[in-house]
Every structure is written in structure tokens, then in C-alpha cells.
């Protein structure tokens, strides 16, 4: 899972290191209290970072940014040249 999703709450091992992954899983299986704590923190993160409300706000922010830039970037009509 990408670090963006789990943040500091994730448990990571080097890519392709099956032994480290197996050890991590073994440690977590043997630590039910830690499992619950990690799960609670990740649920909280999911709600605060990846909820429909957050997604909608992000879209609104993008459109607001585009509209604001569009207003300032609109070119003034050119005056006819006097040839």
C-alpha cells in the first residue's frame, strides 16, 4: 500500500523483501492490542483524508483555484490598431 494512504501509521518493509514482510506479519499477529490501535488510527486517517466530504472539498478547491486564476489571466480586449 502506498505511503500516502497509511502515512506514519503504516508498517513498511523494503520492496521485495519477503522475509521482512513475513516477520512483520508474524509480529502483528502476535500483537492484538497493537493491531487494534493501528486500525483505529488508520480509520481516523481514512475519514479525515479520504472521505467523500474531503474529496468534494478538494474538487471545490480545484475549481475555485481555476476560477481565480482564470479571472486574473483573462486577457483584456485588444484595442484596434490605428494603421
- Each residue of 20-78: pLDDT tens digit? 999 999 999 999 999 999 999 999 998 888 889 988 999 999 999 999 887 654 444 44
In which residue are the cell numbers 479571472 written? 71
Q: Please report the pLDDT score of residue 71 as a whole number.
A: 61
In which residue are the cell numbers 506514519 written? 8
Q: Please report the pLDDT score of residue 82 as a whole number.
A: 46
Q: Please report the pLDDT score of residue 38 as a whole number.
A: 94
Q: Please report the pLDDT score of residue 80 as a whole number.
A: 47
The tally of CA atoms less than 13 A away on the side-chain side of residue 3 is: 5
- Which whole number is the average pLDDT over 7-20? 92
Q: Please report the pLDDT score of residue 27 as a whole number.
A: 96
Higher per-residue pLDDT: 82 or 7: 7
C-alpha span between 78 and 82 (Å, rounded):
12
Contacts of 34 (CB under 8 A, 6+ apart): 28
Amino acid at each position: 500500500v502506498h505511503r500516502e494512504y497509511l502515512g506514519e501509521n503504516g508498517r513498511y518493509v523494503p520492496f521485495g523483501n519477503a522475509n521482512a514482510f513475513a516477520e512483520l506479519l508474524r509480529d502483528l499477529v502476535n500483537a492484538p492490542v497493537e493491531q487494534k490501535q493501528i486500525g483505529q488510527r488508520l480509520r481516523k486517517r481514512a475519514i479525515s483524508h479520504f472521505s467523500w466530504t474531503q474529496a468534494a472539498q478538494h474538487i471545490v478547491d480545484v475549481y475555485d483555484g481555476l476560477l481565480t486564476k482564470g479571472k486574473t489571466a483573462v486577457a483584456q480586449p485588444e484595442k484596434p490598431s490605428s494603421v
